[in-house]
Structure 1
C-alpha cells in the first residue's frame, strides 16, 4: 500500500510476537513496547538530513556527520503512546516531546481531544506521531488534524500494529503522511479492536485491566 512501510526486521517481528501473547506480563509488555519503539524509530529516521562537521578523534582530525536542522518532536497520543515515546527518546534523547490527549467515544468510536501541549516552534520541526495501534484510524486522523492546524507540514506516523481499515482511512484523510508499522492485521471487531491484534495496548502497558 502506498505510503505504508512494514518493518519486517526479525527483532521487530520477534518483539511483536511477545506483545501479542496474552501471557506476557505487564512489566515485560511495557519493556518490550519500549524496545520495539526504539527499533521503529531507527527506521522512521533513516532519511534524516546530515551535515559535515569537523572533529578530532584520539588519533587524527576528520570530517564526520551530524544531524542537520532542528531537533525532532515526538508526539505520543495519550496514554498508550507514552511508552513508545520513551523508547524513541532512548535513541534520540535530545528530541522534544509534545503531548496530545485523545479518548475514544465508546458509542461513536470517534476521537475526542482533551489535552494538547507542544513546543512553540513545532511547525518548524520534523514531527513523529506515535500510537501503538492504528485501528479505525479516528485517533490518528484527529491527531494529524490538530498538528496540521498548529502548522506542522510534514508529520510521520508510527504504530506497532495497524488494521487495514485504519491504514486506508488515514491515507484517505492525510495522503501526505507516511506510516510505519510492524504488521497489518485484516480485521476490526464491532468494538473497533484489531483482530488478532494484541488487545488494549494502554491497559496492557499500565496494568489497568
Structure 2
C-alpha cells in the first residue's frame, strides 16, 4: 500500500542506512553486530530454496540467504545497495499489494525490519500475499526496549528533513501471538519468528 512519506524517507535514507540504523554507541553497535551474525547463522542454516526477501533494504539480511534469492524493495536506491552487497540477487522494485509473483513462486519469504512498519490493513494484505506466494515465512523485527509491545509514530530525521514513521516494536510474546509459528531467535534488539 502506497505510503509516500515512507517511500521518500527510505529513498532519502538509503545512502546512510547501514551506518545510522540504531547506531552510535560502541556497546550497542557490538551487540547489534553480534545479533545480526547470530540471526544470519540461523538463516544460512535453513534449507536451501527459492527465497524472496521483502523490504530487503541494503541487503544486510539478504546476504545470509541460500538458493535463488529475489530481493524486493520499493526503493531503487536500497536495491542498488543490496545488489552491491549480494551481487547474485535478483532485484525487483515494487510496492505491494499484491506481491508481483505467481502463486507458490517461493519456498520461503524473509522480511526483516519491515513487518513492524505495517499498519493493520497492510499487515493483513502482506500476510495473505506471503501465504499465496510461499510455503514459509520468516519475520525478523525489532524487540521493544521494555516488557510491552510498542506502537507509535516516530520522528526520524535525515539531512535536516523529519519524517513521521509508523513503527511497532515487539515482545517475544506479541510477535509470536500475532504470527504463530516458532520463535527462532530472541535477542536484546531483534526477534525472529518462523511460520
Answer 1 or 2: higher relative contact order, Cα 8 Å, separation at least 6.
1
Q: Compute the TM-score of the two structures, normalised by the length of structure 2.
A: 0.43
Higher share of residues assigned helix: 2
Determine which structure has more spread, i.e. the larger CA radius of gyration.
1
Q: Compute the TM-score of the two structures, normalised by the length of structure 1.
A: 0.41
